[in-house]
């Protein structure tokens, strides 16, 4: 049955919902709590940082139905076409708790209980995707959930116990419904652009890249929303209008990852979770960054294209992509153009994106085998924090002499920016501690960082210099940073 | 029921001293535990939002709210002048805290008006349409700024004095002076503030409030409305966390909701956004501690003179008792032969700081422990050695009197510390860490063992009273109510265990009911760790009264004497006869026995004379100790907590699982305070860390990699508390002072431990790195 235009359809727990009256700014959380009185999902912060609103969203990736934890507080209702939303109310069956819930009870994993439904949903997401999680996996799955009462220890114990609890006759709503839901979501996948109008409001869900280009050409002032991990806050915190809005999170053509001899092409709509997994396979230096952008929910929602397109000076992916020589492809109705990523960032809040253009993909060329590459993120809290600074380093060393160097930082200037003077101070010099010490001074000509609540200017400058030293020491095999868990390869 | 049931089951389910799940656990995990925003709203409920100012200190010269009022969906706009009786909600009764700013703005974000609208979204949007013009006044947000501008105080300071500190400092063989900054802390309860007011007949109003102090909400609402307290009923079933942040800070939301509800005759709900909550409600006080210490060559303290200056914000709120408690704990676990301690509760143009778990005690203790650390570095010794030299002695040892002249009678700190030192293998690990640091270039480690001694009781003696209400219905089911509130700490389950234990019935026979001013009046805040001590005893008293009547009834009916009547598991035993509890209750009802009682308790022994600084403010002390091991990265200041071992004293635990939860949770919360949680104001006086994106509480991955928590199972309260248990809410919060000191040791390693790093709190990665730099440069000829 063709999808009727003019409405958004998705499955909520066990019922199909079709909405022809959706404001662009209505969040999934408000819909659940205010319209459906599903009050198990809580609002803790309304900015995607505390996880009290965690729900699972199932979507088709190819033919596969994938469930991911997301923050309902910053997920727009209009972006849910052809998804399955699972809330905490869906877990227990006839009063019998799901093993994840039962473990939380048995291990005293709740105190005040307000964060608990969100934890349960994050743990449920982990339970579904990982039968034998390590402590590192558990911590990673919980990076987007704040608990102020328990100190987390009993929750981690509950997660371990729940992983063991998989009786064959267990009631699991997702396991039971997987086939039926897959079929429903296939039927709901849009084949043409959905446009929902409501008075002045206009919400557009393009079916593919062509229709996105057309929609953006027709509405050059539209807000393009992929993961809504940034735009969500414009609405919940600043109460900014985003009308008209184009939701691109359902466009599968933007979610492709292609590996070739030349490198990696990542569609702008690929989530951090998937993009960073691919990047770290190809560029092991990305590894330590994988789980340090946002929490699990934000990584499941946010996209690499969004991280670039919003032009933030503290976006975490641009510095490493810049040193790797990534290019960005922009597309509009008139065609495509490709430019080096570092040229895309013009000034604070200003990118080289023309009206009607959208970021389509990023291409990252392969790294020559002998090149050294690392990226280091520094933040007040190790996980789920915005960077104070983030440095990426790439060096080729030949016979002990630096042949080429590319270094870029976030958090040190108004845009992600190369440290060209430091690079110059390294090139042609022996790769030695003396060279590093001499080059450290050049950071002062490359950057004049700001002082804010994340760090002082002095700390940023000193740490940038020291990260070059860390890079040097690690290139010689020394232990020069803390790791919470031994690296698993 | 037959007799075999009793014989098979030796004990009831849910007696005291046995671990029980939180009574709401199954509801928490399934999303069915109702918080106030989850309750079905009465038809026509309206929603409020605060209209906030954007100056730190200014006169409001004009406030044009016409666009606000004109926005479709807006029903009412309230300003200070709309408060029917009073615009004052000062908990200290110093009349320095308006509901809404009246003419003068005293901190950036202070609410000056409120909007009531058909939806919360409309109310929030409407607030942004206000046109307020200001005449700026000079503002100071920081302690040093406040001191430099005259040092105005929000309330009377306190001096604690014993002996002659000034003279003894002169005589001491060694002397050191220093100062330390200790940051504040946002509560970050996961459920923000909320109030729902439902208008009643005449002058009545019912308020559902997320509050630790329903009686105060009741008093404030009645005061603002100008109605007697008996017109106002305040209810709270549970809070999504409190931590002190809901002791007084719910007043403004409840008052505004009630005023609007009465004026419009519609239910009104206030639920501020997280950023507004963090901006408009108070936090833990930050302190600047200046200390001057005299000691001998061994490290034994002879005299301490210290000043505790606090950023209190613009009004007094609870700053008086908070800064008092800082002084009460400036001795930590140590005997100061001569001592003078002063508090300086400073007025600043910031939100008025308030209660927070420990209530100034943690800041006091951090200062006391810093003194120990300083002496240790001066003498080149392990701080633990200095600690042991200075611990309070046994009762009657001559080293058992506090700076406030209370004798420490129940001291067990030496035993706790000795046991932990052994079980955590402290000495061996310390040697290994010293060896590691000699070899490691970038990564350095530190270890520290710090003690906790925390005084239990409200220092305001009158607050140490509580009430409970217990009914038994004809079917033998029991209804329990008391003045304590549930914020996740497990108070409700503990008191229910007291009742189950008293009547010897299974716990599921006891129905826990929402706290309400209508059932138990004149309650104190659920605060100061006192919840189970006070309410447990009050409930026990109610049960005692009913049991006495039941025993008298049994004696009359069965023609026996009281020594032949006993409450045994789920039965009453009369002579040799076992009567099932419900059957016995039914007979008692038929015999016209009153099956309801109001229980009451007041803490004995305590008294406190603030003017003279003398008394026995605390009924007893709770003790504990922790060993923390950390690693730091000396290139970036990043760190990790590798291992923590805790031994903590809760007397005879009422519920070990709940108590261990309090210890683990308190530890991590205290660790956050001392490490990553940083409040940051800009030069306009605006708090810029007002959301979880900018204010960083610990995550699962920040908790200690190895975390061993044990109760001191041999301990029993020396005082006659409920089941000889001890309070547990606050004391564990101070265990992570060991994390701060371990970080300090790792920093000190870069200068071969010659210098105390004087690491301020919170020890963010930045502070750690800057301390590393400072120590390296101090050792370097410039």
DSSP assignment of A33-80 equals IIIS--TTS--SSSSSSS-TTEEEEEEEETTEEEEEEEEGGGSBGGG-
CATH of the domain at A387: 3.30.390.50
The 8 Å CB, 24+ separation contacts for B422-430 are B423/B645, B423/B647, B423/B710, B424/B449, B424/B627, B424/B645, B424/B708, B426/B384, B426/B627, B429/B627, B429/B629, B430/B382
Same domain for A269 and A336, yes or no, is: yes
The pLDDT tens digits for B602-661 are 999 999 999 999 999 999 999 999 999 999 999 999 999 999 999 999 999 999 999 999
Residue A467 is assigned to a structural domain of this protein: yes
Q: Are B500 and B506 in contact (CB under 8 A)?
A: yes
In total, how many domains does chain B have?
A: 3
Residue A483 is assigned to a structural domain of this protein: no
Same domain for B760 and B625, yes or no, is: yes
Nearest to B657 among A108, A469, A481 (CB): A108
Nearest to A49 among B239, B693, B764 (CB): B693
Residue B310 is assigned to a structural domain of this protein: yes
Closest alpha carbon to A46 in B16, B257, B272, B306: B272
Same domain for B322 and B426, yes or no, is: yes
Same domain for A166 and A179, yes or no, is: no
pLDDT averaged over chain B? Answer: 97
Same domain for A339 and A204, yes or no, is: no
Same domain for B477 and B575, yes or no, is: yes
Chain mean position to CA A426: 33
CATH of the domain at B93: 3.90.1170.50
* Chain A residues closer than 8 Å to B668 by CB: 150-153
**B189 at A interface, C-beta within 8 A:** yes
Instruction: Please tell me the distance from the alpha carbon of residue B253 to that of residue B774, in angstroms, as a whole number.
Output: 46
User: What is B323-392 written as a DSSP string?
Assistant: HHHHHHTTTTTB--SEEEEEEEEE--SSPPP---TTTTHHHHHHHHHHHHHHHHHHHT--HHHHHHHHB-
In this structure, the dihedral spanned by the alpha carbons of residues B535, B541, B546 and B547, taken in order and rounded to 10 degrees, is 120
pLDDT > 90? residue A341 = yes
- Nearest residue in chain A measured CA to CA from B688: A453
Residue B39 is assigned to a structural domain of this protein: no
- Nearest residue in chain A measured CA to CA from B192: A44
Q: Are B283 and B187 in contact (CB under 8 A)?
A: yes
pLDDT at A463: 98
pLDDT > 50? residue B7 = no
* Chain B residues closer than 8 Å to A151 by CB: 664-669, 698, 703, 707
The pLDDT tens digits for B242-282 are 999 999 999 999 999 999 999 999 999 999 999 999 999 99
Residue B345 is assigned to a structural domain of this protein: yes
CATH of the domain at A198: 3.10.20.30
pLDDT at A1: 37
Last residue of a domain, one of A365, A400, A420: A365
Would you place residue B781 in the very low, low, confident or very high pLDDT band (cuts 50, 70, 90)? Answer: low
The pLDDT tens digits for B180-213 are 999 999 999 999 999 999 999 999 999 999 999 9
Residues 6 or more apart from B600 whose CB is under 8 A from it? B465, B466, B467, B468, B538, B541
Cβ-defined contact of A40 to B190 (cutoff 8 Å): no
Cβ-defined contact of B22 to A111 (cutoff 8 Å): yes
CA angle (B251 as vertex; B245, B257 as ends), nearest 5: 125
Q: Which of A 181-240 lie inside 8 A of B, CB atoms?
A: 236-237, 239
pLDDT at A310: 85
Nearest to A112 among B21, B240, B709 (CB): B240
**A27 at B interface, C-beta within 8 A:** no
Same domain for B434 and B291, yes or no, is: yes
Same domain for A237 and A302, yes or no, is: no
Residue B178 is assigned to a structural domain of this protein: no
pLDDT at B6: 44
Same domain for A191 and A234, yes or no, is: yes
Q: Which of A 126-165 lie inside 8 A of B, CB atoms?
A: 138-140, 142-143, 145-156
Instruction: Please tell me the distance from the alpha carbon of residue A399 to that of residue B756, in angstroms, as a whole number.
Output: 45
Instruction: Please tell me the distance from the alpha carbon of residue B688 to that of residue B777, in angstroms, as a whole number.
Output: 32
Residue A196 is assigned to a structural domain of this protein: yes
- Nearest residue in chain B measured CA to CA from A470: B635
Same domain for A377 and A452, yes or no, is: yes
- What element of type H or E holds B307? strand B301-311
pLDDT averaged over chain A? Answer: 94
**Domain carrying residue B297:** 286-459+610-778
Altogether, the residues listed in chain A come to a count of: 489
Same domain for A228 and A107, yes or no, is: no
Pick the residue of A111, A118, A158, A452 with the most B CBs within 10 A to test the interface with B by mutation: A111
pLDDT at B37: 98
Instruction: Please tell me the distance from the alpha carbon of residue B536 to that of residue B542, in angstroms, as a whole number.
Output: 10
Residue A84 is assigned to a structural domain of this protein: yes
Residue A434 is assigned to a structural domain of this protein: yes
Mean pLDDT, residues A60-66 taken together: 93
Number of other residues whose CB lies within 10 A of the CB of residue B511: 15
The pLDDT tens digits for B108-163 are 999 999 999 999 999 999 999 999 999 999 999 999 999 999 999 999 999 999 99
Residue A1 is assigned to a structural domain of this protein: no
Same domain for B728 and B625, yes or no, is: yes
Residue B146 is assigned to a structural domain of this protein: no
Last residue of a domain, one of A207, A222, A247: A247
- Return the DSSP state at A32: I
CATH of the domain at B377: 3.30.365.10
Last residue of a domain, one of B547, B580, B602: B602
Closest alpha carbon to B208 in B122, B271, B263: B271
Same domain for A185 and A198, yes or no, is: yes
Residues 6 or more apart from B702 whose CB is under 8 A from it? A381, A382, A383, B641, B668, B671, B672, B675, B676
Q: Are B764 and B675 in contact (CB under 8 A)?
A: yes
What are residue B268's phi and psi, to 5 degrees?
A: -135, 130
Instruction: Please tell me the distance from the alpha carbon of residue B399 to that of residue B402, in angstroms, as a whole number.
Output: 9
Same domain for B300 and B449, yes or no, is: yes
**Domain carrying residue A56:** 8-89+175-247
Q: Which two tokens stand for residue A302?
A: 């946010």
Same domain for B498 and B533, yes or no, is: yes
- State the catalytic residues of B: 730
- What element of type H or E holds B480? strand B478-482
Instruction: Please tell me the distance from the alpha carbon of residue A214 to that of residue A189, in angstroms, as a whole number.
Output: 19
Instruction: Please tell me the distance from the alpha carbon of residue A83 to that of residue B381, in angstroms, as a whole number.
Output: 63
Q: Which two tokens stand for residue A285?
A: 């230096």
Same domain for B368 and B415, yes or no, is: yes
Q: Which of B 245-274 lie inside 8 A of A, CB atoms?
A: 273-274
Instruction: Please tell me the distance from the alpha carbon of residue B761 to that of residue B736, in angstroms, as a whole number.
Output: 12
In total, how many domains does chain A have?
A: 4
Same domain for A359 and A468, yes or no, is: no
Residue A227 is assigned to a structural domain of this protein: yes
Would you place residue A4 in the very low, low, confident or very high pLDDT band (cuts 50, 70, 90)? Answer: very low
Residue A103 is assigned to a structural domain of this protein: yes
In this structure, the dihedral spanned by the alpha carbons of residues B141, B142, B146 and B149, taken in order and rounded to 10 degrees, is -80
Q: Which strands make up the sheet holding B577-580, listed edge to edge?
A: B565-568, B571-574, B577-580
Same domain for A346 and A408, yes or no, is: no
Same domain for A322 and A353, yes or no, is: yes
Last residue of a domain, one of B602, B624, B655: B602
Query: What percent of chain B is modeled with pLDDT above 70?
Result: 98
Mean pLDDT, residues A262-287 taken together: 93
Query: What percent of chain A is modeled with pLDDT above 90?
Result: 89
Distance between terminal CA atoms of chain A?
46
pLDDT at A175: 87
Pick the residue of B19, B26, B30, B241 with the most A CBs within 10 A to test the interface with A by mutation: B30
* Chain A residues closer than 8 Å to B184 by CB: none
Distances in Å between the alpha carbon of B320 and those of B155, B158, B315, B327? 6, 8, 10, 11
Same domain for B96 and B205, yes or no, is: yes
Beta strands in B518-638 (DSSP E): 565-568, 571-574, 577-580, 596-602, 607-609, 614-616, 620-633
Cβ-based contacts under 8 A for chains A and B? 270
Instruction: Please tell me the distance from the alpha carbon of residue B546 to that of residue B478, in angstroms, as a whole number.
Output: 12
pLDDT at A3: 43
Instruction: Please tell me the distance from the alpha carbon of residue B133 to that of residue B115, in angstroms, as a whole number.
Output: 19
pLDDT > 80? residue B9 = no
Closest alpha carbon to A408 in A314, A482, A284, A299: A314
The pLDDT tens digits for A232-269 are 999 999 999 999 999 999 999 999 999 999 999 999 99
Q: Which two tokens stand for residue A89?
A: 């109310």
Last residue of a domain, one of A215, A247, A279: A247
* Chain B residues closer than 8 Å to A112 by CB: 189-191, 238-242, 487-488
pTM of the model: 0.97
Instruction: Please tell me the distance from the alpha carbon of residue A243 to that of residue A200, in angstroms, as a whole number.
Output: 8
Closest alpha carbon to B512 in B540, B486, B475, B547: B486
Residue B580 is assigned to a structural domain of this protein: yes
pLDDT > 70? residue B544 = yes
Question: Which residue's structure tokens are 């004809």?
Answer: B474
Same domain for B523 and B660, yes or no, is: no
Same domain for B558 and B628, yes or no, is: no
Q: Are A73 and A96 in contact (CB under 8 A)?
A: no
Last residue of a domain, one of B271, B304, B323: B271
Instruction: Please tell me the distance from the alpha carbon of residue B733 to that of residue A400, in angstroms, as a whole number.
Output: 52
Q: How far is B91 from chain A (nearest CA, A)?
A: 26
Instruction: Please tell me the distance from the alpha carbon of residue A250 to that of residue A61, in angstroms, as a whole number.
Output: 10
**B676 at A interface, C-beta within 8 A:** yes
The pLDDT tens digits for B711-742 are 999 999 999 999 999 999 999 999 999 999 99
Same domain for A277 and A215, yes or no, is: no
- Return the DSSP state at A27: B
**A382 at B interface, C-beta within 8 A:** yes
Q: How far is A119 from chain B (nearest CA, A)?
A: 9
Same domain for B450 and B347, yes or no, is: yes
Closest alpha carbon to B653 in B587, B712, B610: B712
Residue B191 is assigned to a structural domain of this protein: no
H, E, C per residue of B721-756: CHHHECCCCCHHHHCCHHHHHHHHHHHHHHHCCCCC
Three-state DSSP state, B82: helix
Q: Are B19 and B656 in contact (CB under 8 A)?
A: yes
A389-398 vs A54-61, strand pairing mode: unpaired
pLDDT at A94: 84
């Amino acid at each position: 049955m063709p999808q009727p235009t003019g409405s958004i359809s998705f499955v909520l727990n066990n019922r199909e919902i079709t909405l022809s009256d959706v404001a662009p700014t209505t969040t999934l959380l408000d819909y659940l709590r205010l319209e459906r009185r599903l009050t198990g999902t809580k609002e803790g912060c309304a900015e995607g940082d505390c996880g009290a609103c965690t729900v699972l969203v199932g979507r088709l990736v190819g033919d596969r139905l994938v469930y991911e934890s997301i923050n309902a507080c910053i997920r727009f209702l209009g972006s849910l076409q052809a998804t399955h939303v699972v809330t905490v109310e869906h877990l227990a069956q006839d009063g019998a708790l799901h093993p994840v819930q039962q473990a939380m009870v048995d291990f005293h994993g709740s105190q005040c209980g307000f964060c608990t439904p969100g934890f349960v949903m994050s743990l449920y997401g982990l339970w579904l995707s990982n039968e034998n999680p390590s402590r590192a996996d558990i911590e990673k799955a919980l990076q987007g959930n704040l608990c102020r009462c328990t100190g987390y220890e009993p929750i981690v114990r509950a997660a371990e116990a729940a992983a063991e609890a998989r009786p064959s006759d267990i009631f699991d709503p997702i396991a039971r419904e997987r086939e039926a839901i897959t079929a429903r979501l296939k039927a709901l996948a849009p084949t043409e652009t959905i446009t929902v109008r409501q008075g002045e409001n206009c919400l557009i869900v393009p079916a593919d890249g062509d229709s996105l280009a057309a929609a953006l050409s027709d509405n050059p002032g539209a807000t393009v929303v992929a993961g809504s991990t940034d735009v969500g806050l414009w609405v919940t915190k600043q109460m900014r209008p985003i009308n008209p809005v184009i939701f691109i999170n359902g466009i599968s053509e933007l979610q492709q990852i292609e590996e070739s001899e030349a490198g990696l092409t990542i569609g702008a709509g690929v989530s951090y979770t998937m993009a960073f997994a691919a990047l770290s396979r190809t560029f092991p230096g990305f590894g330590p960054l994988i789980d340090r952008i946002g929490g699990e929910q934000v990584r499941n929602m946010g996209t690499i294209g969004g991280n670039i397109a919003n032009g933030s000076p503290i976006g975490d992916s641009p510095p490493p992509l810049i040193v790797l020589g990534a290019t960005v492809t922009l597309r509009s109705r008139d065609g495509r153009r490709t430019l080096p990523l570092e040229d895309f960032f013009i000034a604070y809040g200003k990118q080289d994106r023309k009206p009607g253009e959208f970021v389509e993909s990023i291409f990252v060329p392969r790294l020559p085998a002998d090149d050294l590459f690392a990226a280091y993120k520094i933040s007040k809290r190790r996980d789920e924090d915005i960077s104070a600074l983030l440095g990426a380093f790439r060096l080729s060393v030949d016979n002990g002499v630096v042949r080429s160097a590319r270094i870029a930082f976030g958090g040190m200037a108004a845009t992600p920016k190369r440290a060209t003077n430091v690079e110059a101070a390294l090139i042609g010099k022996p790769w030695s501690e003396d060279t590093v010490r001499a080059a450290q001074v050049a950071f002062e000509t490359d950057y004049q960082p700001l002082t804010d609540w994340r760090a002082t200017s002095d700390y940023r400058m000193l740490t940038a210099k020291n990260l070059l030293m860390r890079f040097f020491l690690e290139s010689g095999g020394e232990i020069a940073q803390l790791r919470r868990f031994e690296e698993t390869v | 029921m037959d007799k075999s049931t009793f014989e098979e089951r030796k004990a009831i389910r849910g007696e005291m001293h046995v671990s029980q799940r939180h009574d709401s656990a199954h509801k928490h995990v399934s999303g069915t535990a109702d918080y106030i925003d989850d309750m079905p709203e009465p038809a026509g409920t309206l929603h409020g939002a605060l209209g906030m100012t954007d100056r730190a200190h200014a006169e409001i010269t004009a406030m044009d709210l016409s666009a606000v009022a004109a926005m479709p969906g807006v029903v009412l706009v309230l300003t200070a002048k709309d408060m029917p009786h009073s615009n004052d909600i000062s908990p200290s009764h110093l009349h320095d805290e308006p509901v809404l700013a009246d003419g003068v703005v005293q901190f950036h974000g202070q609410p000056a008006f409120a909007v009531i609208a058909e939806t919360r979204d409309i109310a929030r949007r409407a607030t942004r349409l206000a046109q307020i013009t200001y005449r700026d006044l000079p503002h100071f947000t920081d302690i040093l700024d406040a001191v430099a501008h005259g040092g105005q105080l929000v309330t009377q300071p306190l001096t604690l004095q014993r002996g002659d500190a000034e003279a003894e400092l002169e005589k001491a063989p060694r002397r050191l002076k220093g100062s330390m900054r200790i940051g504040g802390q946002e509560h970050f309860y996961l459920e923000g503030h909320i109030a729902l007011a439902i208008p009643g007949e005449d002058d009545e109003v019912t308020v559902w409030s997320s509050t630790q102090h329903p009686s105060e909400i009741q008093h404030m609402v009645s005061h603002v409305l100008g109605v007697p307290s008996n017109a106002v009923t305040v209810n709270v079933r549970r809070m999504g966390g409190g931590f002190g942040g809901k002791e007084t800070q719910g007043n403004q939301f409840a008052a505004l909701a009630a005023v609007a509800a009465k004026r419009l005759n519609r239910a009104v709900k206030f639920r501020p956004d997280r950023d507004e909550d963090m901006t408009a409600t108070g936090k833990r006080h930050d302190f600047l501690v200046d200390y001057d210490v005299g000691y001998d060559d061994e490290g034994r303290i002879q005299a301490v003179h210290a000043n505790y200056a606090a950023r209190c914000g613009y009004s007094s709120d609870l700053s008086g008792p908070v800064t008092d408690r800082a002084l009460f704990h400036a001795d930590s676990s140590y005997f100061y032969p001569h001592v003078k301690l002063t508090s300086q509760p400073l007025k600043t143009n910031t939100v008025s700081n308030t209660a927070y778990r420990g209530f100034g005690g943690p800041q006091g203790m951090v200062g006391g422990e810093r003194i120990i650390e300083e002496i240790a570095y001066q003498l080149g010794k392990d701080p633990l050695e200095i600690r042991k030299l200075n611990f309070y002695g046994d009762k009657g040892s001559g080293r058992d009197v506090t700076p406030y002249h209370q004798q420490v009678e129940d001291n067990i700190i030496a035993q706790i510390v000795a046991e932990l030192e052994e079980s955590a293998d402290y000495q061996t690990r310390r040697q290994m860490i010293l060896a590691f640091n000699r070899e490691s270039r970038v990564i350095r480690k530190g270890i520290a063992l710090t003690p906790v001694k925390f005084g239990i009781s409200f220092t305001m003696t009158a607050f140490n009273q509580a009430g409970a209400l217990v009914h038994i219905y004809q079917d033998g089911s029991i209804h329990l109510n008391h003045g304590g509130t549930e914020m996740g700490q497990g108070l409700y389950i503990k008191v229910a265990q007291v009742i189950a234990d008293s009547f010897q019935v299974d716990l599921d026979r006891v129905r826990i009911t929402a706290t309400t001013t209508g059932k138990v009046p004149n309650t104190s805040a659920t605060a100061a760790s006192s919840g189970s001590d006070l309410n447990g005893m009050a409930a026990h008293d109610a049960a005692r009264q009913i049991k006495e009547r039941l025993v008298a009834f049994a004696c009359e009916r069965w023609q026996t004497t009281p020594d032949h009547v006993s409450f045994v598991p789920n039965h009453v035993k009369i002579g040799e006869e076992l009567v099932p509890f419900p059957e016995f209750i039914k007979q008692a009802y038929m015999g016209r026995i009153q099956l309801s009682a109001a229980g009451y308790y007041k803490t004995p022994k305590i008294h406190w004379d603030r003017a003279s600084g003398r008394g026995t403010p605390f009924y007893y002390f709770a003790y504990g100790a922790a060993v923390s091991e950390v690693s730091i990265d000396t290139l970036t200041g990043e760190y990790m907590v590798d291992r923590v071992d805790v031994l903590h004293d809760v007397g005879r635990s009422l519920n070990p699982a709940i108590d261990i939860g309090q210890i683990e949770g308190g530890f991590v919360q205290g660790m956050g305070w001392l490490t990553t949680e940083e409040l940051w104001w800009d030069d306009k006086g605006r708090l810029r860390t007002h959301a979880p994106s900018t204010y960083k509480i610990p995550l699962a991955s920040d908790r200690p990699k190895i975390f061993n928590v044990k109760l001191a199972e041999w301990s029993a309260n020396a005082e006659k508390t409920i089941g000889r248990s001890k309070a547990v809410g606050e004391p564990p919060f101070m265990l992570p002072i060991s994390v701060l000191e371990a970080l300090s040791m790792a920093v000190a390693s870069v200068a071969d431990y010659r210098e105390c790093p004087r690491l301020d709190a919170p020890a963010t990665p930045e502070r750690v790195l800057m301390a590393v730099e400072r120590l390296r440069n101090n050792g370097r000829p410039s």
